[in-house]
Amino acid sequence: MALIKTPVTGMKDILPKEMEIRNYVISQIQETYASFGFSQMETPCVEHIENLCSKQGGENEKLIFKILKRGEKLNVEAATTEAEVVDGGLRYDQTLPLARYYANNNKDLLGPFKALNIGNVWRADRPQKGRFRQFMQCDIDILGESTNIAEIELILATSTLLGKIGFKNFTIRINDRRFLKAMAAYSGFEEKDYDDIFITLDKMDKIGLSGVKEELLASGYEAESVEKYLDLFANVTGDLKGVSYLKETLGDFLPADCAEGLSEIMEAVDQTRTAEFNTLFDPTLVRGMSYYTGTIFEISMDEFGSSVGGGGRYDEMIGRFTGQDVPACGFSIGFERIVMLLMERDFKVPTAKEKVALLLEKNLSSEKKIEALRDAKELREAGKSVFLTVMKKNKKFQKTQLGEHGYTEFKEYFNR
C-alpha cells in the first residue's frame, strides 16, 4: 500500500518561494517590534488541557487538538471519561500560553513586559482561503501597563510593520467592550443576554442593520429595546464625533473614563503614525474572545474579505493563574493571510541576494571543477547566492527553470 503524499487536511507544504517571503516578513517583524522595545519569547506548543478548556477561548475551545496521555498513564479501555485519557492539547492561540508564561516567569522579566511571540498554533477548524488547521501567529503584548499607552504603542508598532512590508490604506477598527455593554444596558436588555446579543451584532457586516433587527426580534427580545439599540448604531459616526455622541447619549451607563480613553488613543495614533492607514471607531466590533475586558481592535483590508489581525485588552486573564490581576493588552497579525496577500501580489523580497547559477558540463575535469568552486566562493564572498549544478541535456529548459526561481546570471564550464 502506497503512503499518502499530500499533507493532512488543513495543513500545507511550504515551497521555497513562499518560504523566502515568510522569512522576510519574520525578519521585518523582529526588526520593527524590537525598535518598539518588544522582546522575543516562546512557549511550548502543548499546554495543560485544564488551561485550554478554562472558558476563556470562546469558540476556539471547541477546536482543540487534544493529546492522549502517554505510556502507563494511558488506559483507553478502562477509561469512562475524557479526563482519564487526555491531559494536554496543542495551543489554539498565543494569548493564554503567554498568560501562563508570565505567571511562571514574571520575577525574571522587565516590567512592563513587552512580549513578541511568533509560532504555530493549531485549530481543528474548517479549512478555507487563508485559514488552516496549523498556522503561524505573531503576537505582541504589553503586560503590566494599565494606561492606554499600551494600546497606542501596540497600534503604532503593528501599523508601522504593515507599512514597511508594503501595505497602505488599510483600516484599524477600534472599540471598547464597555461601549458594547453600556449600549445594551441603555437599550433595556438584561445582562444575561449580552453575549447572545453581541453574537448577533457581530454579523452586522454580513446581514446589515435590518438583518440584525430581524434576528434580535426572532430571538424574542422586546421590540422597544431592539429599536432603541439599533438607533444608536444608525446615528453614530466612525470618528471622534461618534465617540462623543455615545458618551452623551449613554450617560451613566458608560464608565466615566471609557470615551476619553478611546478618543485619546485614536487622536494619539493619528498624530504620531508613520504608515498610511485609517482609524475607525466601530461600535459593532465585538471580537469573539470572552477574555477581553476593554479596548478591542481589528485590521481590515479591502483586498481581503475578513480580518487580517486583531486584539485588545485582557486585564483579568493572568489573575486566573496568580490570584492577582495584571493589566494586559495584545495585538496579533494574521501572518498567514499577510503572506498570502504578498504571494498574490507576486511580491519580490527587496533584501534578497542576487542569484547566480554555475552550470558544469557532465564529466568535467578536476581542474575545471576547482575553477568553478573557486568562482562560487568569490561570488558568495561578494554577497551573491550561488547555485552550482551539473548541466542538463536540455540546457535551455534548465535555465528557464532557474530563471523562474530568481536566478538572473549564468556561467557555464566546459572541458574544452
Closest CA to 281 of 303, 300, 266, 264: 266
Pair 356, 386: CB distance under 8 Å? yes
- Per-residue pLDDT of 257-269, as tens digits, reads 999 999 999 999 9
C-alpha pair distances (Å), 129 with each of 126, 340, 367: 10, 9, 53
Higher pLDDT, 298 or 416: 298
- Per-residue pLDDT of 173-208, as tens digits, reads 999 999 999 999 999 999 999 989 998 998 888 898
* Domain boundaries, given as residue ranges, for the chain: 1-167+301-352, 177-299, 355-413
Pair 14, 22: CB distance under 8 Å? yes
pLDDT (mean) for 367-387: 95
Predicted local distance difference test score (pLDDT) of residue 125: 86
Residue 131: DSSP 8-state: B
Task: Report the C-alpha gap between 187 and 296 in whole angstroms.
Answer: 22
Predicted local distance difference test score (pLDDT) of residue 39: 96
- Reported as a pLDDT band with limits 50, 70 and 90, residue 306 is confident
Query: Does the domain made of 1-167+301-352 have the CATH classification 3.30.930.10?
Result: yes
Q: Helices 335-344 & 16-35, crossing angle to 10 degrees?
A: 120
Pair 130, 305: CB distance under 8 Å? no
Of 75-79, 158-162, 290-294, which has the strongest mean pLDDT?
Answer: 158-162
Query: Is the predicted pLDDT of residue 305 greater than 80, yes or no?
Result: no
- Reported as a pLDDT band with limits 50, 70 and 90, residue 130 is low
Least confident of 59-63, 65-69, 142-146, 390-394: 59-63
Which runs of consecutive H residues, i.e. helices, occur in 43-134? 49-52, 95-105
Pair 165, 342: CB distance under 8 Å? yes
Predicted local distance difference test score (pLDDT) of residue 260: 95
Task: Report the C-alpha gap between 116 and 33 in whole angstroms.
Answer: 7
What's the gap between Cα 226 and its chain centre?
Answer: 34
Question: Three-class SS of residue 408?
Answer: strand
- 329 bridge partner residues: 142, 313
Predicted local distance difference test score (pLDDT) of residue 126: 85
User: What is the four-CA torsion angle of 227, 228, 234, 240, rounded to 10 degrees?
Assistant: -170
Predicted local distance difference test score (pLDDT) of residue 78: 65
Task: Report the C-alpha gap between 258 and 262 in whole angstroms.
Answer: 6
Shared fold status for 1-167+301-352 and 177-299: yes
- Per-residue pLDDT of 336-371, as tens digits, reads 999 999 999 999 888 788 999 999 999 999 999 999
Task: Report the C-alpha gap between 182 and 195 in whole angstroms.
Answer: 13
For the 177-299 domain, the top CATH level (class) is alpha beta
